[in-house]
């Protein structure tokens, strides 16, 4: 399969060729008009006659593409390699963006990364060449920005091993974040299984003005829906306000839909999307989309009567939307910028800003950078400088080369900013922060999407606030959280009071994009003689041994390795930052399992009771000891367990160390799927209050496993330390087919059986 540096028009035409017929059949079947999400899903169904009940049916889909970033691709490729195929069956790309550490500046950091990650990059490049996938070298940019510029197309469907894959929804694509095992399904030619989603409609009216930016739309939506409000749903934006936004602005909004747990988010194809496709060298796709434009937006009745089509409708008037800032510690804690000062003071959050960071896959487009740069220019002209570090990460090599050519990097540098490599950098803890020590309470403002504790610099003492790039610049210049650029003034070097001018962005570069350095490596026509090297002594890569199949027995006497209290995101379960080093080595990365989780029994972080000798140890140590002693165990979670990232390490590590069951009050979508795919019994309390029944010394049994069936409760007995016991009911979401994942030991074991046969 020839994987190119962009989506070939042939693939797009194939997708468009079936639209008319499939959508007509869909309308007939539902007896009504269709939303855009429904159209794209229906056009990608494996079986057009499949049952489609929202929030209930599991359906098989046929995505058009797969994209993976280096921190998740390693494990995905290691799984793919065990399937025994010669080639990926669907166009696939791998992007090197997460492993580049920010320390000095772009060039120096990139060189260091290329050296220190050579083994991993060599593995990824050779595995792509061996199996026919495209490889984007370190320095090419953040996966989602590169996908937006090269691969996303209206009406398409893709999956990506990263939770912010929905960024491509800005171009009208259904783009869904998944764990590596899901990607392997598609790469090996099988269908991809997902729950037929519920639909949330967001009706945008009016037009952004003043300091308000596209980012504020999603900051507001996160406030309304919270970190779990989008679970199981696709969020579809529509209305005149939607059509007033640029393509990259729409992408920002879709990107951060991951923070509300949504399956994905999307906008319709419109003129702005057409302009973006053309500006990024895809006039042919824009033309093809124009020809089927009525199929690439919701039917007219949907906009007229949204309540009839969506499970929930939210109205946002862009005319009155004020600039927002969310955080700290959770992306759904929102308020207008104007109110932050008072709230920070009341909560004891440091009012001084210690650093400002612009970039990440959410906000690193040409338009974002031009808006922020215009404020930087204005500030310099008014005699202002940034007194604290200002770090800029361009989203892609193309954006970097273009903003350099257009003098925008110089605008930031004039303020004293540092330009970092085109990569995730501080967004994923890859920030070797030199200006601040751990333990010093401080506040930072970023244009990123997540702000869980330790996420950026690894310090729990850092309070991270997320906002638009223009507000980041403004608060960085002020050096304070209690500054509202719309009303407040700053004192310049000459002692004058000056007010910042609202940022003026350029949607697209007037002189076109400069592609910059060529960072794409296409696979050879025949890669079968390429040797993919995984050294048996490597501490970064390790070939996988298949997990054992279920032995047919009930689970008895399981100790509780962890009972997590409150937020237990994937960052708590399998931390990123320095641990990204081991993303290709299951045994080594298991050294971080549940390291950030809060122990519900004593409020401590990362430690619990080892029942073998009554000692308190770190969770990774206890897990290793149970594994070595062949003790099966259970982990208990609170609400929305596994929120955040798509990293399947958060499921594979517990599985590898002997977890049989993870029982939570509720799960985030990708984490639950990852657990199920890796053969872990993911269960939720039928009665969430039963969470309180579980004690530190209790043992847990699960019975009736031979009769597991979709929709049936699973019985659990908690044997308490005092000799009493409680029987509780738990629920699961396995479909009949998915139960085979559990029985086979993992979904991958099933694929192996099929590809071998
Ligand atoms: C993130 O933003 O948390 C990441 C790092 O991009 C993850 C993927 C990973 O953990 O490798 C994500 O969002 O899926
Ligand atoms: Fe990278 Fe941050 Fe985007 Fe994740 S959210 S893909 S770490 S830039």
Give the separation between CA 712 and CA 158, rounded to whole angstroms.
32
SS (H, E, C) 405-422: HCCHHHHHHHCCCEECCC
For residue 202, list its beta bridge partners: 237, 314
Residues 6+ apart with CB under 8 A from 487: 338
What is the DSSP annotation of 482-547? S--TTT--EE-TTS-EE-PPPP---SS-TT-----S--EEPPPS--TTPPPP--TT-SSB-PPPPP
Report which ligand 1 atom has the smallest distance to the Cα of 649. Answer: 10
Ligand 2 center–CA 359 separation, angstroms: 9
Is residue 1's pLDDT more than 70? no
pLDDT tens per residue across span 13-53: 999 999 999 999 999 999 999 999 999 999 999 999 999 99
Task: State the ligand closest to the CA atom of 456.
Answer: 2
Is residue 211's pLDDT more than 80? yes
Report which ligand 1 atom has the smallest distance to the Cα of 428. Answer: 5
Question: 101, 164, 420: which to mutate for ligand 2, most atoms within 8 A of CB?
Answer: 164
Residues in contact with ligand 2 (CB, 6 Å cut-off): 98, 142, 162, 164, 360-361, 424, 427-428, 448-449
563: three-class secondary structure by DSSP: strand
565: three-class secondary structure by DSSP: coil
pLDDT tens per residue across span 531-563: 998 999 999 999 999 999 999 999 999 999 999
Ligand 1 center–CA 570 separation, angstroms: 9
Is residue 448's pLDDT more than 90? yes
Ligand 2 center–CA 342 separation, angstroms: 30
Q: What is the mean pLDDT of the chain?
A: 97
Give the separation between CA 520 and CA 140, rounded to whole angstroms.
8
Cβ atoms of 214 and 323 within 8 Å: the answer is no
pLDDT value for 263: 97
Question: 141, 425, 426, 449: which to mutate for ligand 2, most atoms within 8 A of CB?
Answer: 449
* 646 ligand 1 Cβ < 6 A: yes
Q: Hey, what are 617's tokens? A: 């140890």
pLDDT value for 208: 98
Angle at 29 between CA 15 and CA 734, to 5 degrees: 80
Is residue 302's pLDDT more than 60? yes
| Exposure of 133 in the CB half-sphere (CA atoms within 13 A) | 33
Residue numbers annotated as active site: 97-98, 162, 450, 645, 647
Secondary element (H or E) of residue 94: strand 92-95
For residue 69, list its beta bridge partners: 95
Give the separation between CA 279 and CA 285, rounded to whole angstroms.
11
Question: 145, 330, 430, 647: which to mutate for ligand 1, most atoms within 8 A of CB?
Answer: 647
Ligand 2 center–CA 257 separation, angstroms: 13
Question: 144, 252, 579: which to mutate for ligand 2, most atoms within 8 A of CB?
Answer: 144
Give the separation between CA 243 and CA 246, rounded to whole angstroms.
8
CA 756, chain centre distance (Å) = 33
Residue 565 pLDDT level (bands cut at 50, 70, 90): very high
Is residue 371's pLDDT more than 90? yes
Nearest CA to ligand 1 atom 4: 645
* 165 ligand 1 Cβ < 6 A: no
Give the number of residues written for the chain.
757
Q: Is the peptide bond before 121 cis (omega within 30 degrees of 0)?
A: no
Ligand 1 center–CA 575 separation, angstroms: 10
Ligand 1 center–CA 27 separation, angstroms: 37
% of the chain surpassing 70 pLDDT:
100
Q: Tokens 């997460």 appear where?
A: 98
* 362 ligand 1 Cβ < 6 A: no
| Residue in 299, 287, 177, 180 with CA at minimum distance from that of residue 238 | 299
Q: What is the dihedral of CA 426, 431, 434, 439, to 10 degrees?
A: 90
pLDDT value for 2: 79
* 71 ligand 1 Cβ < 6 A: yes
pLDDT tens per residue across span 695-716: 999 999 999 999 999 999 999 9
Q: Hey, what are 722's tokens? A: 């005092």
Report which ligand 2 atom has the smallest distance to the Cα of 97. Answer: 1
Ligand 2 center–CA 255 separation, angstroms: 10
Report which ligand 1 atom has the smallest distance to the Cα of 647. Answer: 10
Is residue 757's pLDDT more than 80? no
150-180 burial: b if 16+ Cβ within 10 Å, else e: bbbbbbbbbbbbbbbbbbbbbbbbbbbbbbb
Report which ligand 1 atom has the smallest distance to the Cα of 571. Answer: 3
Question: Across residues 455-463, what is the average pLDDT?
Answer: 96
pLDDT tens per residue across span 467-487: 999 999 999 999 999 999 999
């Amino acid at each position: 399969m020839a994987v190119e540096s962009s989506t070939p028009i042939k693939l797009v035409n194939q997708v468009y060729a079936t639209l008319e017929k499939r959508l007509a059949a869909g309308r007939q079947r539902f007896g009504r008009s269709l939303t855009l999400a429904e159209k794209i899903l229906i056009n990608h169904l494996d079986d057009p006659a499949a049952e489609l009940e929202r929030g209930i049916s599991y359906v098989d889909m046929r995505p058009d593409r797969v994209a993976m970033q280096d921190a998740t691709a390693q494990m995905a490729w290691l799984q793919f390699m065990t399937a025994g195929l010669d080639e990926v069956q669907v166009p696939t790309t791998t992007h090197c963006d997460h492993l580049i550490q920010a320390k000095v500046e772009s060039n120096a950091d990139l060189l260091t990364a290329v050296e220190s990650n050579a083994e991993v990059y060599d593995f990824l490049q050779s595995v792509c060449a061996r199996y026919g996938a495209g490889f984007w070298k370190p320095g090419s940019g953040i996966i989602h920005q590169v996908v937006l510029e090269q691969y996303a197309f209206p009406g398409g469907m893709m999956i990506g091993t990263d939770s912010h894959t929905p960024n491509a929804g800005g171009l009208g694509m259904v783009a869904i974040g998944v764990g590596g095992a899901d990607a392997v399904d598609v790469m090996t030619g099988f269908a991809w299984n997902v729950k037929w989603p519920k639909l949330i409609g967001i009706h945008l009216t009016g037009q952004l003005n003043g300091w308000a930016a596209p980012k504020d739309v999603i900051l507001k939506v996160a406030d309304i829906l919270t970190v779990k409000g989008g679970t199981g749903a696709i969020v579809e934006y529509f209305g005149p306000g939607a059509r007033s936004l640029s393509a990259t602005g729409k992408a920002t909004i879709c990107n951060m839909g991951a923070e509300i747990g949504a399956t994905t988010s999307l906008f319709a194809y419109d003129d702005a999307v057409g302009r973006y496709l053309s500006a990024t060298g895809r006039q042919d796709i824009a033309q093809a989309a124009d020809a089927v434009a009525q199929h690439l937006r919701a039917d007219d009745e949907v906009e007229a009567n949204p309540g009839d089509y969506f499970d929930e409708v939210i109205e946002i008037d862009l005319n009155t939307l004020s600039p927002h800032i969310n955080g700290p510690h959770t992306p759904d804690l929102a308020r207008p910028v104007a109110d932050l000062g008072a709230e920070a003071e009341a909560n004891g959050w440091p009012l001084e800003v210690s650093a400002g960071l612009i970039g990440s896959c959410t906000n690193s487009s040409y338009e974002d950078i031009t808006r922020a740069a215009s404020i930087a220019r204005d500030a310099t002209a008014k005699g202002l400088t940034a007194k604290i570090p200002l770090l800029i990460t361009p989203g892609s090599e193309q954006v970097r080369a273009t903003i350099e050519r257009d003098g925008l990097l110089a605008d930031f540098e004039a303020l004293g900013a540092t330009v970092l490599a085109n990569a995730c950098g501080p967004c994923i803890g890859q920030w070797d922060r030199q200006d601040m020590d751990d333990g010093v309470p401080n506040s930072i403002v970023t244009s990123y999407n997540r702000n869980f504790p330790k996420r950026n610099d690894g310090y729990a003492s850092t309070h991270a606030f997320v906002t638009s790039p223009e507000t980041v610049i403004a608060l960085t210049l002020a050096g304070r959280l209690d500054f509202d650029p719309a009303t407040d003034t700053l004192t310049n070097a000459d002692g004058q009071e000056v007010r910042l001018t609202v940022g003026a962005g350029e949607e697209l570069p007037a002189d076109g994009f400069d592609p910059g350095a060529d960072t794409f490596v296409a696979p050879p026509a025949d890669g079968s003689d390429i040797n993919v090297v995984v050294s048996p002594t490597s501490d970064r890569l390790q070939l996988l041994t298949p997990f054992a199949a279920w032995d047919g027995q009930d689970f008895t006497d399981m100790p509780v390795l962890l009972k997590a209290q409150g937020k237990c995101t994937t960052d708590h379960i399998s931390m990123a930052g320095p641990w990204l080093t081991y993303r290709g080595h299951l045994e080594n990365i298991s050294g971080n399992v549940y390291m950030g989780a809060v122990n519900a029994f004593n409020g401590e972080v990362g430690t619990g009771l080892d029942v073998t000798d009554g000692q308190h140890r770190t969770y990774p140590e206890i897990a290793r000891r149970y594994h070595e002693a062949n003790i099966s165990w259970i982990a208990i979670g609170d609400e929305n367990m596994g929120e955040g990232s798509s990293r399947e390490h958060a499921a594979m590590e517990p599985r590898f160390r002997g977890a049989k069951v993870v029982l939570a009050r509720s799960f985030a979508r990708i984490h639950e799927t990852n657990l199920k795919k890796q053969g872990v019994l993911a269960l939720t309390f039928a009665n969430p209050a039963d969470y309180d029944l579980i004690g530190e010394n209790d043992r847990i049994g699960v019975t009736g496993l031979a009769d597991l069936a979709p929709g049936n409760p699973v019985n659990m007995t908690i044997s308490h330390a005092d000799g009493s016991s409680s029987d509780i009911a738990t629920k699961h979401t396995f479909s009949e087919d998915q139960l085979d994942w559990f029985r086979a030991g993992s979904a991958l074991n099933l694929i192996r059986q099929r590809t071998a046969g």
